[in-house]
Structure formats: structure tokens, C-alpha cells
Amino acid sequence: MTDSIFRQFSLEGKLALVTGAAHGIGFAIAEAYAAAGARIAFNCSSRDSLERGLAAYREKGVDALGYVCDVTDEAAVQGMVSEIERMAGPVDILVNNAGIIRRTPMHEMSAEEFRRVVDVDLNAPFIVSKAVIPSMMKKGGGKIINICSMMSELGRETVSAYAAAKGGLKMLTKNIASEYGGYNIQCNGIGPGYIATSQTAPLRERREDGSRHPFDQFIISKTPAARWGCVEDLTGPAVFLASAASDFVNGHVLYVDGGILAYIGKQP
């Protein structure tokens, strides 16, 4: 492979803001960006989370800028972005990763709970994108990556608010691409499948008789790859969408799901 190909995927000299990146998927993406040459800024929702996140980045040799910021608070976000620009320059790459889910049957969910999920999972990406776009326009380009979901395409029990928000995020992705593509700003999404994290570990533990947890069986049976994804499965696509290699990719959601969305399932 020639050096010119490698250079297409380099993030050298770029500044990436990854929301909700003190741990989990956001942390893995930020770590990959740092390995590709980018400087890292991230936010989280509490001081304790910030300190743990900064320590985790230091352990990986990443000198990250960290902020406590509620991404649903427009004034707070504007303040954070202004401080990032003062400290490190304009944001070249934004990853809207922060998100929440409430697994509650729709008829039992309050309107307040529904609004909270939509606020974090849809309104916040609008707010943070709005904060960085002016500098991207002025600079002549940028990358915005929204962490969507298979629920951007599918419904499922107990996730009405999450599915509504992630469906909306897919369309926000397309609209940002449509509105700002002429400024050399590419906005794309990543739709993770079922990813093995600490939160899903109990669902993947073998039972005393050696059998799989019913939900684990369900995921394996619905995934052509016959496994859960890992956070490393998301880092390559995230680097691609943040790099010059994707300069003519805009308004696309890249599903990293092991083939679930392509698969009807095995015949009983």
C-alpha cells in the first residue's frame, strides 16, 4: 500500500471533539483518532466521570482536553466550543456520541421521560453541530459523525423514545449533509449493532448449565457474523468517516452490525 493511501486516512493536525467519550464507544473512537494523529477534546456529564476519563486517556498516552458539559444546554455547549477554540483551535471533527436509552413500554413511559431521551439523543446533536458548523464553514470544511443505531431503521419493544430519536438523528444527518455539503462539510452516521461492553456483559454470560442467556441467543441467531460486535469494530469506520478518504461520502449511515439489517433470519 502506498504512502498516499495511508495519508488519506491520517488525522494528523486535526482536532476532534467526541461527546460522551469518558468511556465506552466514545472513548474507543477518540483513542483511535489520537492514534491516527488527531488531538482530542471530549465532554462528560459529571466531574467524577471527567476525572476517570482524563485518567483513562493519560493511561493510553493521550493528552485530551476534557469538559463537564450538558450537551442539551445550548449556552453551555457554546461556551465549551468557544473554550476549545481558544485552547486548541476550531473543531475539525465532531462525533455526536453522547446518548441515553430508557427501556420502558410506551404505554408506561411518561412524556417527560420520552422528551429526555429525545433531548439527549436528537436535540443535543443539533445543538453541538450548530456550535461547530460556523467555524467549519469559515475554515472551509469539517466532518460531523452522528452515532445512530439500528433503531434508526427498526422498531423494537420498550424503546419508542430511543427509536424515535435515532430515526430523527438519521434524518438530521442527511439534512446537515444537504445544507452544508457546499461548504465541504461531510455529515455521516455510524449505526452500531449489538456491541459487547461492560453494560451488556450480564447478557453474554453463560448460565450454570453452559447455555447462552436468551437475549444472547437471540442476538447470535439474528447476526450473520454470529457474534456480538466489539468497540474495535467501530474504530475503523469512525476513522474513515473522519478522514480525507471519505471526502465524497455525505449523508450516509454506515451500519456496523455484523449484517443484522441485511438478514431475515434462519428458517425455523
Query: What residues are labeled active site?
Result: 162
Cβ(98)–Cβ(26) below 8 Å: yes
**Which of 234, 233, 115, 113 lies closest to 168 in space, CA to CA?**
115
Report residue 257: phi and psi, to 5°: -130, 10
CB 241 within 8 A of CB 249: yes
Secondary structure of residue 228 in the 3-state scheme: coil
Q: What is the DSSP letter of 240?
A: H
- Of 262, 197, 219, 223, which is closest to residue 27 (Cα–Cα)? 197
The Cα–Cα gap between 59 and 61 comes to: 5
- Burial category of 190 from C-beta neighbours within 10 Å (exposed 0-12, middle 13-18, buried 19 and up): buried
The partner residues of 254 in beta bridges, in order of sequence, read 190
11 CB contacts (<8 Å, ≥6 apart)?
33, 36, 37, 38, 93, 239, 242, 243
Question: How far is the C-alpha of 165 from the C-alpha of 151, rounded, in Å?
Answer: 9
Grid cell in block for residue 90: 476550531
